[in-house]
Structure formats: structure tokens, C-alpha cells
Amino acid sequence: MPCTRYIIVCEGESEWAYLQRLQSFLDQQPLVDGAFEPPLRFVVPERVVVKNGTFGKLKSRHNKTRRENKKTSIKIWADFDLYHRNDKKCADHYAQKTGGIPDFLFSFHNFEDFYALHWDGDRFQEWRDFGNKGHFTTPLHSDGYLPEIKRIFPGYGKGGLPVDFISWDSLKNLKCNKSHQPRSNPHNLQGAWQLHRFYHRRDRACIPWVIGPTNSNPGSIIIPDVHPSH
């Protein structure tokens, strides 16, 4: 199986840290089919961290990265909350983006919501209860949701993740929980992909969100019958 490489332009340090943990997890998995390297590699140098989620900043960093990397596939990972609220006309600008800018991979509505999908049990239910009080339909600003996130997940810190955060268990939770994430898209932005849909595209056989260990082979690949749509 050939290695597929993606450069991911990240809104912030949390996304960057997550991809570092994910790549470390991938690198630890057994190779299959005589491969010499993992089937997927995220290329995420610190210079692709924008520290800003507005459309113009992300577009500018994407274009700069594209000039430096002519052949590698480039994706953009951002929070959807700015686009949901149309802060700084983000939704308007996104709706008018040109063909050279890829559809964004969005955390609905922010990284902390994506983070919560990796949990189960009482903590995950507490996050759902909090979100269903209004955050899922009208995303709060960080000063509105971060205190609650830190209460539910005491070990969470913005911009950093434990080295063992990505595991078979957390990825299994993500796969099982993705249907519970917010879906509100009031501006009907076309091509505003929920992040998990990216992992069910043509390369889905390589992506750990759709793989899991089996009793017979801890590193075997399971491909579900999932076909994404916008």
C-alpha cells in the first residue's frame, strides 16, 4: 500500500498537537502488505499553524504552503464556529472561495467539541448535555465553553495533549460518537465538510478513524460501508 501524504494547514496549536499525536500512533502500528512506512503521513511543520481561524488568514497560509509544495495534497483544518456565526464575514468569504482553495475540514463547532468525541461514559454524556443547552445550535465563544470543557475534562489544556491521547480506545470512541457532534450549518455552506468525512474518502483504508484492532490481528484494517456526502 503506497504512503499518502497530506500537509494540514492548522487553525491553532491544538490541531497541530493532535496531528503530532496521531502520527506518532500511526508510526507505532505494524506495517501491512510488505510496506516500508505507514500508509498515511501527516506533514505538519509548525509554520503551517496559523493561530487564527478567519478565512483570509487560512487562505493566505494555504497559498503560501502551496507555492512551497507543488505536488503534495494540502488540507485546511479549522473550527466552524466563526463560520457558523459569520464572524468577520467568514461564512460570506468561504461561500465565495475560488476553486484553488480546498473545502475546509471543520471541527464542528470547535476543537474542544472534536476532542470530546474521543471519550465515552459520563464525561461524554456531560459534554452532550452541555452542548444541547444551546452550544450545538449557537456556538459559544471560548470564554463561554472553555470553563465547562475544563470542568468536564480536568486534564484538558488548549494547545497540548497527553502523549498517549491517541489510542485504539479513543479512536473507537471517535468512530462511535461522530454522529453526536453538532451539525448546524445556518449559512448552508457547501463543501463545509465535517472533519470525520475526510477519513471516509478514497484513502479511507489508510485512516485510523476507520480502522480498529480485531481479536485475530491487533493491527488489521476494517473498512466500513460508508460513503460521504456534502
CA 25 to CA 8: how far, in whole Å?
17
pLDDT in tens, 118-141: 999 999 999 999 999 999 999 999
Percent of the chain with pLDDT over 90: 61
What confidence tier does 1 reach under pLDDT thresholds 50, 70, 90? low
CA 99 to CA 102: how far, in whole Å?
7
Establish if 112 belongs to a structural domain.
Answer: yes
Establish if 13 belongs to a structural domain.
Answer: yes
Establish if 184 belongs to a structural domain.
Answer: yes
pLDDT in tens, 152-169: 999 999 998 999 999 989
Establish if 226 belongs to a structural domain.
Answer: no
| Cβ pair 189, 217 in contact under 8 A | no
**In the predicted model, what is the mean pLDDT of residues 13-26?**
93
Establish if 181 belongs to a structural domain.
Answer: yes
* End-to-end C-alpha distance for the chain, whole angstroms: 28
Establish if 152 belongs to a structural domain.
Answer: yes
Domain that holds residue 101: 4-210
Number of domains in the chain: 1
Q: In this predicted structure, what is the pLDDT of residue 194?
A: 67
